Amino acid sequence: MAEKTPHQNITFPLPDSDVTDTGHGYLATPPSGSGPAIIVIQEWWGLTDHIKEVTDRLAAEGFVALAPDLYGGWITHDGDEAGEMMSKLPADEGAKQLAGATDFLLAHEAVTSKSVGAIGFCMGGGFVLALAAQQGEKVSAAVPFYGVGQAVPESYTGVKAAVQGHYAKQDEMYPEEQARQQEDQIREESGAEVEFFYYDAGHAFHNDENLIGTYDAEKAKLAWERSVDFLRKKVS
C-alpha cells in the first residue's frame, strides 16, 4: 500500500508559480561541502530509500545531488499501484518540478558547476531525457537508465547535453530495439555526444531493492562506475 515518507527535507520554488507552489526533494552534499550539481530522478515507485541511497552515493562521489519528489511524498512497492501513480503524474507537471530543481541547484551556494547533470531510472530515465530536451545548456550530462513512461520525448532537437544511456537486452518494458532506435534518434536530432550501453539483464537491473526480480549486482556496478565517470567529466 502507498505510504507517506519524510524524505521531503528541502523545498524549492517552481517556475511560473506563486510562492505557495513549491517542489520538495532530498538533498545530499559531499564531504567537501561543495561540488557539481546532479539531479536524481525517481523510478515509478516514488522517492524510495533506494533513490535516497543513490543520491547519498553521488554525494559521496563529490556531487551536490538533489532527488526531487515527483509524487509529493507518496511511495509504493506494488507494481499496479506504481503504474497508477505514474499515470497520474502529467509529463508537464514533472517537467515543471525538474525545472525548479535545476534552477534551485544552479543557485545553491554549495554548487560549483554552471550546469547540472541528470540521472534517472525507469520513469526517471524518461524524465532525464525530457529535462535535457527542455533545459538546453543548463543540462550538460544526461544519464537515463532504461527510460520509459510519459515523459520520453518525441523530439530531441533541444538536447545540448552529452547523453550516456544504460539499457537492458531483456527489458520487456522498453525492448532493446526501441532503445537502439532512440539512441540513433537522439544522435541525429541533437548532434550531441551520445553513447548507449546494453546489458545482458532485465529492466531495473540497477535497483538493489529487487522489486521485480531483475537486480544484477555485477551489471549494476559496471553501469554505476560508467555513470559516475561520465558525470565527473561532463558536469562543470
Provide the whole-model pTM: 0.94
Angle of helix 49-60 relative to helix 217-234, nearest 10 degrees, comes to 50
C-alpha cell at 231: 558525470
Give the pLDDT score at 16. Answer: 73
Q: For the chain, what is the mean pLDDT?
A: 93
Residues 143 and 166: beta-carbon distance below 8 Å = yes
Q: Which of 213, 216, 187 is nearest to 201 (CA)?
A: 216
Domain locations along the chain = 3-234
At 168-215, the pLDDT tens digits run 999 999 999 999 999 999 999 999 999 999 999 999 999 999 999 999
> What is the assigned CATH class of domain 3-234?
alpha beta
List beta partners, residue 13. 22
C-alpha cell at 116: 547540472
Give the pLDDT score at 9. Answer: 86
